[in-house]
Structure 1
Amino acid sequence: MRRVVINVFGRVQRVGFRFSTLQKAREFDISGFVKNLRDGSVEIEAQGEEEKIEKFIQWCKVGPIYSEVKKVMAEDIEVIDGEDEFNIF
C-alpha cells in the first residue's frame, strides 16, 4: 500500500480535472481526495496498490482532454488505515 500527495500545475482548474480524477481513482481502486488550490493548481492525495498509484500518477501528467498539465510533483506520505473512498473537495 502506498499513499502520495500529488500537485498538478498548468491549466487544471475549470476543465473537469477533479471530476476526471475521481473517475480515474475509482477505475484504479484508489482512495483519497482531490481539491483545487488558490494558486490555480490541483492537489491530490491518493492511496492504493503501488502499481495502480504509479499508473494514476502517469495519468495525472496528462489529465482530461481540456487540461494542459505543465508540471506534476508526487511525494510519498504516510498511509491512512481504513480509508476506502475518494472525494472531491
Structure 2
Amino acid sequence: MRRIRLVIRGVVQGVGFRYSMQHIARGAGATGWVRNVTNGTVEAEVQGDAAAVETVLDWAAKGPRGGVVDGVSMTEMPTTPDESGFEIRRDA
C-alpha cells in the first residue's frame, strides 16, 4: 500500500482536471481526493497498491486534454485505514 500527495502546476484549473483524475483514480482502484487551490495549482492525495498509485501519477504528469502540466511535486505520505472512494473536495 502506498499514499502520495501531489501538487500539480500549470494550466490545471478550468480544464476538467479534477473530474478526469477522479475517473482515472477510480478506474485504477485508488482512493483519496483532489481539489483546486487558490494559487492555481491542483492538490491531491492518492492511496492504493503501487500499480494504482503509479497509474494516477503517470496520468497527472500529462493531465487531461486542454490542460498543460508544467510540473508535479510528490511527497510520500503514511497510509490511512478505512478510506474508500476518490472524492473531489472543495477548493482550498
Please classify the TM superposition score into its range, dividing by the shorter chain length.
over 0.9
1:83 aligns with 2:83: yes
Aligned length: 89
Asked if the contact 2:25/2:52 (under 8 Å) is kept, the reply is no
**Post-superposition offset of 1:36:** 0.3
**Post-superposition offset of 1:52:** 1.7
1:13 aligns with 2:2: no
What is the rounded CA distance, in whole Å, between the counterparts of 1:73 and 1:25 in structure 2?
18
Matches within 5 A, 1:5-84: 5-84=5-84
Deviations 1:21-40 (A, max 9, x none): 11001110110000000110
**Post-superposition offset of 1:51:** 1.7
> RMSD in angstroms over aligned alpha carbons?
0.6
Any stretches of 5+ residues in structure 1 without a counterpart? Answer: none
Q: Secondary structure of 1:7's match? A: strand
Deviations 1:12-63 (A, max 9, x none): 0000000001100111011000000011000000000012211210110001
Structure 1: which 4+ aligned runs deviate by more than 4 Å? none
Q: TM-score, normalised by structure 1?
A: 0.97
Q: TM-score, normalised by structure 2?
A: 0.94
Q: Which amino acid aligns with 1:6?
A: L
Percent of aligned pairs sharing the same letter? 35
What is the rounded CA distance, in whole Å, between the counterparts of 2:39 and 2:22 in structure 1?
21
